[in-house]
Amino acid sequence: MNAPVITVDGPSGSGKGTVSRLVAERLGWHWLDSGAMYRLVALAALRRDMDLDDVDALRGLAAGLDARFQADDAGDPVILLDGAPVGAELRTEQAGNAASRVAAHQSVRDALLERQRGFRQPPGLVADGRDMGTVVFTEAPLKVFLTASCEERARRRYKQLKEQGLSANLLALSEELAERDRRDAERSVAPLKPADDAVVLDSTHMGIESVLEEVLRLARERGLTD
Ligand code: DC
C-alpha cells in the first residue's frame, strides 16, 4: 500500500526523464513519466482539433483518456493512445508545448491526479515530472529537483531530437524551452519549483552516470535501498 516513492522534478531537458528511468531500472521499481500523460492529453486534443484553452472539453478528455503504459519484450516503454502505439509523435516539441498549455489548467491536473498516484505500487516508484514532490507525492522520502542551464538543456534536447531522426533548430529550441519554462514556472497551479525538502542537483556539468550515482547514493542514505 505504502510503497516508497522517489520524485524527480525539474525543467525540460534537465535529464530527469533519463535519470528517473535508470534509477527505476537499477532499483527494480516502477516508473511514472507524468509528462507523457500531459503530452497524451495534448495529442488527443490536437487530433480532435480541440481548442487548448477549452477547459471543460479538456477536463472531459483527460478524465476519459484511453491511455495505456506497457513495456515491449526488451522492457522499453510502449504507450498506447486510443488503442494504438503513439511512438515518436509524443516526443515532438509540438506535443511538449501543447502539453505545457493543457497542463496549466487545474481541472486537467485534477483529472490526472489519481491516475498518477495509482502508479505507486510495491516495491517502489520513481516519479518524473514537475510537481511530483510538491503536489502528487508530497510525503515521498526522497525528492530530487534536477536542473541545468538553459543553454545546456537546449543543447541536450537538440541532440536527442537529432538522434531520433527528428528535425531541430538549436536557436528555435532554446527560445521554445525558455517559453515553456516560463509557462510551467509562472502558472498559478502546481508551478515548477523545488519542494522545500527537495535535494537540488545542477546537472549542467554532470554526466548522466554521475547524476544516477548521486540519486542512488541519496536513496541508500535514506534507507530506501541497500
Ligand atoms: O516532462 P515533459 O517535457 O514530457 O512534460 C511536458 C509538459 O507537461 C511540460 O512542459 C509541463 C507539463 N507537465 C506538468 O505540468 N506536470 C508534470 N508533472 C509533468 C509535465
Q: Is 193 inside any structural domain?
A: yes
CB 158 within 8 A of CB 170: yes
Place of cell 522517489: 6
Report the alpha-carbon distance of residue 201 to residue 146 in Å, rounded.
5
Q: Is 226 inside any structural domain?
A: no
Q: Is 225 inside any structural domain?
A: no
Q: Is there an atom of ligand 1 within 6 Å of 96 CB? A: yes
Q: Is 55 exposed, middle or buried (0-12, 13-18, 19+ CB in 10 A)?
A: middle
H-helix or E-strand spanning residue 68: strand 67-71
H-helix or E-strand spanning residue 176: helix 170-186
Domain that holds residue 147: 5-219
Q: What is the pTM of this model?
A: 0.93
Domain total for the chain? 1
Q: Is 94 inside any structural domain?
A: yes
Which atom of ligand 1 is closest in space to residue 103's alpha carbon?
A: 15
3-state DSSP assignment of residue 214 = helix
Q: Is there an atom of ligand 1 within 6 Å of 12 CB? A: yes
> HSE-up of 32 (CA within 13 Å, CB side)?
30
Q: Is 34 inside any structural domain?
A: yes
CB 27 within 8 A of CB 73: no
Q: Which of 26, 158, 51, 159 is nearest to 101 (CA)?
A: 51
Instruction: Return left, alpha or beta for 124; rule: phi > 0 is left, psi -120 to 50 is alpha, else beta.
Output: left
Q: Is there an atom of ligand 1 within 6 Å of 9 CB? A: no
Q: Is 158 inside any structural domain?
A: yes
Per-residue confidence of the chain (226 residues) as pLDDT tens digits? 589 999 999 998 899 999 999 999 999 999 999 999 999 999 999 999 999 999 999 999 999 999 999 988 988 889 999 999 998 899 888 999 999 999 999 999 999 999 999 999 999 999 999 999 999 999 999 999 999 999 999 999 899 888 888 888 999 999 999 998 888 889 888 889 999 999 999 999 999 999 999 999 999 999 999 8
Q: Is there an atom of ligand 1 within 6 Å of 108 CB? A: no
Q: Is there an atom of ligand 1 within 6 Å of 101 CB? A: no
Q: 167: domain CATH number?
A: 3.40.50.300
Protein residue with least CA distance to atom 2, ligand 1: 35
Q: Is 224 inside any structural domain?
A: no
- Residue to mutate, 18, 19, 100, ligand 1, most ligand atoms under 8 Å from C-beta: 100
DSSP string, 125-141: EEEEESSIIIIITTT-S
22 CA → ligand 1 middle, Å: 19
Running DSSP on this structure, what letter comes out for residue 135?
A: I
